[in-house]
Amino acid sequence: MRLRVLVAGAGAVGSVVGGLLARAGHLVALLGRRPHLDAIAARGLAIEGLWGEHRARNLVVAASVEELAGPYDAILLTVKSYDTADMLAAVAPFLAADGSAIALQNGLGNVERVAAAVGAERALGGRVIFGAVVPAPGVVRVTVFADPIALGSAVGGVAASEERARAWTARFASAGIPTEHTDALQAHLWTKVFYNAALNPLGALLGRPYGALAADDDGRAIMDAVIDECFAVARARGVAPLVPDADAYRAIFYGRLVPATADHRSSMLQDLERGRRTEIEAINGCIWRYGCEAGIPTPVNATMTRLVRFRERS
C-alpha cells in the first residue's frame, strides 16, 4: 500500500528515512530548508554511506507549511527538540484521522508533546541511534549506526497506537531502514539519553570524536559521572532503563556503542561550529531539571549544560 508521508524537518536523518520510504513506493513530502530541497527537486535525493547507495526521485519538497497538501498517513517529526512545539502546531492539522505522528528525535519530552498534540492513539516515537550528514545539497550520508530504530507507542497500553507502531515498524524495515518494534519506548529513549548526555556535550566542548573521549582517563571519568547521575534521575522518575544499573550500562557503552561510533563528531559540535542552537536543554539540561524536581543532585550534567550554553552565546 502506498501511503502519504510527511517528513517534518528534512535534515540529514529525516532525509535518509524519507528517501528510503520513497524508494519503497510511498508518497513522501519533505518539509525543510533550501538549497537542500532545490537540489532534491532538480536531481533527486542521493543516499550514501553505511546503508548503501540509493537515489530517490519521486519526492515532493516544501519549504513552508503553506506548500503542503495533506492529509498524511504519517508525519515524521525530525526537527531539533527545541522546535518540536512549533512544528507540531504547524503540521498536526495535516495528519489523517487514522494517521500516525512519529517522533524520531534526540532528547526527552518529545513523544509527550506529540501525544498532547494529536492524541495518544496516533502518537508514536522512535529511539534513533544512527547518524547522518548532508555533505552537499541533495545528498545525505549515513555515517554511524549503533542499533536499529526502536519504534513504539508514545503512551504505553493504548491498543490503537501499539497496532500502528507494529505496522510502521514493518514499513520502515521493508524500506531498508533497520527498525524493531518495542513496547518499552521510554526505556529506549532514556537509555539513549545516557549515551547522548555522556558523549554529545563533551565532544562539543573538546572538539574530539567519541572514541577519543573514551580513550582518555579524564574524559571517561566525566562520562562515568554523567551516566551515574542519569541513572539516579531515571529511577527517581520511575523509569526502568534497559539495563539494571549504571555499571551494566557502562559495559555496553564502552564495549559496543562507543566503538561503533568512535569516529563520530558530536552533533552539538557541528551545531556550535555553524553558529546554531544545540539540543543541550533536551539532554543534559533535562536531566538537571528532572533532578532538581526529584531532589537528586546532578552537578556534572548541570556543568555540561552551563558550558554548552556559554559556547552557544559566544
Residue 117: Cβ within 10 Å count: 20
Pinpoint the alpha helices (H) of the chain. Answer: 12-23, 36-43, 84-91, 110-118, 159-174, 185-206, 210-215, 217-236, 246-252, 258-260, 267-273, 284-294, 299-313
Grid-cell match 550554553, residue found: 309
What cell numbers appear for 310 in the block? 556559554
Catalytic site residues?
Answer: 192
Does residue 30 contact residue 63 with C-beta atoms inside 8 Å? Answer: no
DSSP letters, 252-267, are HIIIIIHHHTTTPPPH
Rounded CA-CA distance 88/9 in Å is 11
Beta bridge partners of 140: 47
Q: Is the dihedral of CA 150, 154, 156, 161 positive or negative?
A: negative
Does residue 119 contact residue 24 with C-beta atoms inside 8 Å? Answer: no
Region for residue 131 given its phi and psi (left: phi exceeds 0; alpha: psi -120 to 50; beta: otherwise): beta
Beta bridge partners of 142: 49, 132
Q: Return the amino acid letter for 123.
A: A
